[in-house]
């Protein structure tokens, strides 16, 4: 089968690699340099499994039928399936997802291959798929939510917790076919590794319910993060040991010990925008909790900044802008809002972030990637996720709420 994947972010690239094990996949990017890099099997994003697959492909140990191009007309023509995984950034002013890139991909698809099935994998508002079907007068657009972690996207595609496809009642067969493609990719790696097949649940739902599943699932995760962060805030103010409370609470099997590690707030590509989009979808529906989880995240970041400022540092050092360890992405990371609050009090900040150029500026703050100099300059070093190997020698002046030292 010939498959076209629009977008080479962590969602699109992980899907392209998964499917290229068994099918001819063409991925679309907007940058020629990125296309050239991918065509040599070098990943532009940090993802352990993608990097492993690509290294094996370069060494001739793994067959991946994957080509990346900037030629949209060629990519969208003569293909059996089109997957749209372009970014949908959240517009805080208008309170909506920017779906411009999704609609551009739809228009190219309908222009070059009008009868080919399109599956949207981008995160979109509830009701969006029905609206674009009506806008373009077609019914060959499905939606399938993704449940992937940054830096572990391919791993999560190889070991999915569930596969969900949104389609009309009369499209059960084609929706099942798409689900089977994803299952096939996971099973291919299982057979290669000599492991037994996973029992992966598949759910085919109406389109709008599939969209709602995505936003409600991510908002529930945000609720958990916010809950344990507020528990940690309470313990800090009352002089209690957060970890002891969390350990006791999480011994209840109904609660469990996941998503319970305090942080500076939830951030990253999905949770902030998905919670805000769900809240926007609630504009005509009574609610308290959805609004509260968005507000809670703001409160937490402000509280963290106040704790740092209260130490009266001359210079605050920020160790990494990324959300978690083993990641190179710091888009919408919580630490950036903490920085804004600190800067509003005119406290200078220096940043250690190896993905940025030494001596450059980020948010008006100098990047110092000489680690020893960075540590010397910082009166207080803040780290959303603590690295013992790097920060152990200055632990006494490190501020972190990373109690369990894991993502």
Rounded Cα distance, 144 and 140, in Å: 13
Residue 183 has pLDDT above 70, yes or no: yes
pLDDT in tens, 349-395: 999 999 899 999 999 999 999 999 999 999 999 999 999 999 999 99
Binned at pLDDT 50, 70 and 90, residue 268 comes out as confident
pTM of the model: 0.91
| pLDDT at position 197 over 80 | no
List all residues 6 or more positions away from 13 whose beta carbon is below 8 Å from its beta carbon: 27, 38, 43, 44, 45, 47, 50, 153, 154
Distances (CA, A) of 324 to 53, 85, 330, 402: 22, 23, 9, 10
Q: How far is CA 337 from CA 136, 199, 318, 357, in A?
A: 40, 41, 12, 21
Q: Which two tokens stand for residue 174?
A: 């084609």
Whether the per-residue pLDDT at 83 is higher than 60: the answer is: yes
Q: From residue 41, give the alpha-carbon distance in Å to each of 62, 150, 158, 327.
A: 11, 19, 19, 19
DSSP state of 383: -
Residue 330 has pLDDT above 90, yes or no: no
**H/E/C letters for each residue in 217-232?**
HHHHHHHHHHHHHHHH
The predicted-structure confidence for 11-53, as pLDDT tens digits, reads as follows: 999 999 999 999 999 999 999 999 999 999 999 998 999 999 9
- Quote the pLDDT of residue 328: 59
Average pLDDT over residues 92-97: 77
pLDDT-above-90 percentage for the chain: 86
pLDDT band at 406, cuts 50/70/90?
Answer: low
Topology alike, domains 2-205 and 237-399: yes
CA distances from 29 to 4, 35, 39, 72, 98 (A): 11, 7, 12, 9, 18
208: DSSP letter: H
Q: Determine contact, residues 276/297, Cβ cutoff 8 Å.
A: no
What percent of the chain stands above pLDDT 70? 98
51-61 per-position pLDDT tens digit: 999 999 999 99
Rounded Cα distance, 43 and 51, in Å? 6
Interval 235-260: pLDDT, tens: 999 999 999 999 999 999 999 999 99
Mind telling me the catalytic residues? 270
Cα–Cα distance measured from residue 99 to residue 65, given in angstroms and rounded to the nearest whole number: 29
The arithmetic mean of pLDDT across residues 309-332, rounded, is 83
Domain regions of the chain by residue span: 2-205, 237-399
CATH class label, 2-205: alpha beta
Give 237-399's CATH code, choosing from 3.20.10.10, 3.40.50.720, 2.160.20.10, 3.30.420.40.
3.40.50.720
Tell me what the pLDDT averaged over the chain comes to. 94
């Amino acid at each position: 089968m010939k498959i076209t994947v629009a977008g080479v972010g962590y969602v699109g690239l992980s899907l392209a690699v998964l499917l290229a094990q068994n099918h001819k996949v063409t991925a679309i990017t907007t940058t020629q340099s990125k296309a050239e890099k991918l065509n040599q099997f070098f990943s532009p994003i940090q993802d352990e499994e993608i990097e492993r697959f690509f290294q094996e492909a370069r060494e001739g140990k793994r067959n991946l039928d994957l080509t990346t191009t900037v030629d949209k007309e060629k990519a969208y023509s003569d293909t059996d399936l089109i997957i749209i995984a372009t970014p949908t950034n959240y517009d805080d002013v208008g309170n909506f997802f920017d779906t411009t890139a999704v609609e551009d991909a739809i228009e190219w698809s309908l222009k070059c291959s009008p009868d080919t099935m399109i599956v949207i994998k981008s995160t979109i508002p509830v009701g969006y798929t029905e609206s674009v079907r009506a806008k373009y007068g077609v019914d060959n657009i499905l939606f399938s939510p993704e449940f992937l972690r940054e830096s572990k996207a391919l791993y999560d595609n190889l070991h999915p917790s569930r596969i969900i496809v949104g389609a009309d009642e009369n499209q059960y067969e084609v929706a099942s076919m798409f689900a089977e493609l994803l299952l096939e990719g996971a099973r291919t790696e299982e057979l290669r590794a000599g492991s037994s097949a996973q029992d992966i649940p598949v759910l085919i739902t109406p389109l709008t319910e599939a969209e709602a599943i995505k936003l409600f699932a991510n908002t529930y995760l945000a609720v958990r993060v916010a809950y344990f962060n507020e528990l940690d805030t309470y313990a800090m103010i009352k002089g209690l040991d957060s970890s002891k409370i969390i350990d006791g609470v999480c011994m209840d099997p109904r609660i469990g010990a996941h998503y319970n590690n305090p942080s500076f707030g939830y951030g990253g590509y999905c949770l902030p925008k998905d919670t805000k989009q769900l809240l926007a979808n609630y504009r005509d529906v009574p609610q308290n909790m959805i609004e509260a989880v968005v507000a809670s995240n703001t409160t937490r970041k402000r509280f963290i900044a106040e704790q740092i400022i209260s130490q009266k540092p001359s210079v605050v050092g920020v160790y990494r802008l990324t959300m978690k360890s083993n990641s190179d992405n710091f888009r919408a990371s919580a630490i950036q809002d903490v920085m804004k609050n600190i800067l509003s009090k005119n406290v200078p900040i220096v940043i250690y972030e190896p993905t940025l150029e030494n001596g450059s500026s980020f948010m008006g703050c100098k990047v110092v990637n000489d680690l020893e100099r960075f540590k010397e300059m910082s009166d207080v070093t803040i780290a959303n996720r603590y690295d013992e190997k790097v920060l152990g020698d200055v632990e006494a002046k490190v501020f972190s709420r990373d109690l369990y030292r894991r993502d």
